[in-house]
Amino acid sequence: DAGVIQSPRHEVTEMGQEVTLRCKPISGHNSLFWYRQTMMRGLELLIYFNNNVPIDDSGMPEDRFSAKMPNASFSTLKIQPSEPRDSAVYFCASTETGETQYFGPGTRLLVL
Amino acid sequence: SQKIEQNSEALNIQEGKTATLTCNYTNYSPAYLQWYRQDPGRGPVFLLLIRENEKEKRKERLKVTFDTTLKQSLFHITASQPADSATYLCALHFNDYKLSFGAGTTVTVRA
């Protein structure tokens, strides 16, 4: 299995631009999670989906962030407009059992 | 709100020794607790899961304990090797599928 796939791996953009991060979960996994990791705040859960339905988005920092999961094999996290404080590593993870989570390699986002 | 604390940000040990990492939490106990390993530039990788009714779990040179009275989990790496150098994260599960992660402890094993 290829594992969780994320793209792009690195993104550098200017403040105010729209950023779209992509994730392909492991085939057969029915739950998907988006996390953000920074030195200051560690690994934070932003939102998670179960069977393509958003279950808990309480971690989404503000309305500039949105996430979708149109089908079982694809999810996006969008930031519009982006700000320098959004700079972080964004991870996608999936699970089949609801226990062990399998993480992707992450997207390193830098907003100038 | 729930608070998760992992001991010292960094732990430096000599090869062959045992590394012991601590994960403390406040308030109510989780249904289960997990430990993940994270290498620089990579995503966390699952290592072990221990449930609230289990005292100890082992996997090769790794051992995890879970004390709901002390609200603490200990993670041991025995006969440590330089390849064990990484950041180790504890993660607590309370409801649904959500995990809450600690800040992590970075372990460096000297040859």
**Better pLDDT: A87 or B9:** A87
Give the Cα separation of A35 and A112 in Å (integer).
21
Contact B97 A43 (CB under 8 A): no
Closest by CA position to B30, among listed B61, B76, B73: B73
Which of A94-108, B43-57, B87-101 comes out lowest in average pLDDT?
A: B87-101
Sign, CA torsion A67/A68/A69/A74? negative
B94 has a pLDDT exceeding 90: no
Looking at CA atoms only, how far is residue A45 from chain B in angstroms? 8
A101 has a pLDDT exceeding 80: yes
Looking at CA atoms only, how far is residue A90 from chain B in angstroms? 10
Contact B43 A93 (CB under 8 A): yes
A91 touches chain B (CB under 8 A): yes
A99 has a pLDDT exceeding 80: yes
Which pLDDT band holds residue B18 (cuts at 50, 70, 90)?
very high
**Better pLDDT: A88 or B93:** A88
Select the residue of B42, B46, B96 nearest A101 (Cβ to Cβ). B46
Q: Give the model's pLDDT for residue B3.
A: 82
How many angstroms from the chain centroid is the CA of residue B19?
11
Contact A55 B97 (CB under 8 A): yes
Which pLDDT band holds residue A1 (cuts at 50, 70, 90)?
low
Which of B3-12, B47-56, B97-106 comes out lowest in average pLDDT?
A: B3-12
C-beta atoms surrounding A12 within 10 Å: 12
B61 has a pLDDT exceeding 90: yes
Q: Give the model's pLDDT for residue A68.
A: 97
Residues of A in contact with B90 (CB under 8 A): none
Closest by CA position to B42, among listed A32, A42, A89: A89
Residues of B in contact with A57 (CB under 8 A): none
Q: Give the model's pLDDT for residue B106.
A: 95
